[in-house]
């Protein structure tokens, strides 16, 4: 299974043979990342689910793509996985899976407008459950810093083996560092020839200051030039 934007999938359909080769290569790469994450998590003791945060130093480094595909890789190995889109400012996870109208999700639960059991979905094209971002709120930072956030993760952890959380880049907004207190570990995403080393150093320093457990860094587009099209993005973050 490989997740990418619907528009990219349409563009790639012109050459199915080449696409299959790329997909096989990338799927194996995600399996390798899964193996390394399992080793990194081996020393952690959790009676409930292990919660992994996926974030980046900058925008457009492929954190959402990596989060979704790692969830698929873990689910392929038999784990029960939930993916949470905690980017309430620029949510992207849902558009990788659906092309329909927006669903209720995390923001609606935190705002008291929905029960979490009612908004968790299992799309037909996924082998894991999804909790999308929901309605874009006017106060995302305040919403994600409510005390009930910790309670929500505790509740969700009772029903899954792993919870993967997609968050905004470190350093751009305050809530990303705040959420580290609820997770088992953090996975940083970087992109070859795109992510600035100083930005990555600042992100690592910020995470260390928050006493976050950094499990490792995933470098996107590192193998060869053919894989770069999978991570190309002209989108930008807009924060108000």
Q: Give tens-digit pLDDT for 133-165.
A: 998 889 888 999 898 999 999 999 999 999 999
Taking only the tens place, the pLDDT of each residue in 29-47 is 889 999 999 999 987 776 7
The domain limits of the chain are 15-226
Ramachandran angles phi, psi of 37, nearest 5°: -65, -40
Taking only the tens place, the pLDDT of each residue in 161-177 is 999 999 999 977 788 99
Looking at the predicted structure, is the pLDDT value of residue 231 above 50? no
Asked if 54 contacts 168 with a C-beta cutoff of 8 angstroms, the reply is no
- For the chain, the average pLDDT equals 83
Looking at the predicted structure, is the pLDDT value of residue 211 above 90? yes
pLDDT grade for 111, boundaries at 50, 70 and 90: very high
**What's the pLDDT at 162?**
96
| CATH code, residues 15-226 | 3.40.50.300
pLDDT grade for 4, boundaries at 50, 70 and 90: low
Asked if 149 contacts 182 with a C-beta cutoff of 8 angstroms, the reply is yes
**What's the pLDDT at 61?**
87
Asked if 218 contacts 190 with a C-beta cutoff of 8 angstroms, the reply is yes
> CA-to-CA distance for 144 and 148, rounded, in angstroms?
9
């Amino acid at each position: 299974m490989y997740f990418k934007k619907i528009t990219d999938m349409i563009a790639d359909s012109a050459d199915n043979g080449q696409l299959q080769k790329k997909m096989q290569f990338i799927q194996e790469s995600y399996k390798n990342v899964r193996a390394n994450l399992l080793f990194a998590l081996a020393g952690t003791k959790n009676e409930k689910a292990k919660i992994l945060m996926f974030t980046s130093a900058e925008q457009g480094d492929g954190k959402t793509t990596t989060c979704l595909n790692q969830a698929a890789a873990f689910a392929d190995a038999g784990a029960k996985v939930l993916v949470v889109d905690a980017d309430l400012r620029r949510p992207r996870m849902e558009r990788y899976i659906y092309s329909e109208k927006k669903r209720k999700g995390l923001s609606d639960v935190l705002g008291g407008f929905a029960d979490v059991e009612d908004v968790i979905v299992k799309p037909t094209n996924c082998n894991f459950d999804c909790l999308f971002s929901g309605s874009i709120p006017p106060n995302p930072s305040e919403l994600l810093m409510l005390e009930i956030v910790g309670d929500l993760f505790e509740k969700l952890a009772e029903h899954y083996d792993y919870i993967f959380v997609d968050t905004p880049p470190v350093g751009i907004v305050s809530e990303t560092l705040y959420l580290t207190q609820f997770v088992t570990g953090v996975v940083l995403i970087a992109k070859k020839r795109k992510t600035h080393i100083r930005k990555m150093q600042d992100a690592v320093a910020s995470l260390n200051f928050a006493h976050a457990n950094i499990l490792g860094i995933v470098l996107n587009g590192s193998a060869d030039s053919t894989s770069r099209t999978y991570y190309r993005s002209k989108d930008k973050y807009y924060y108000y």
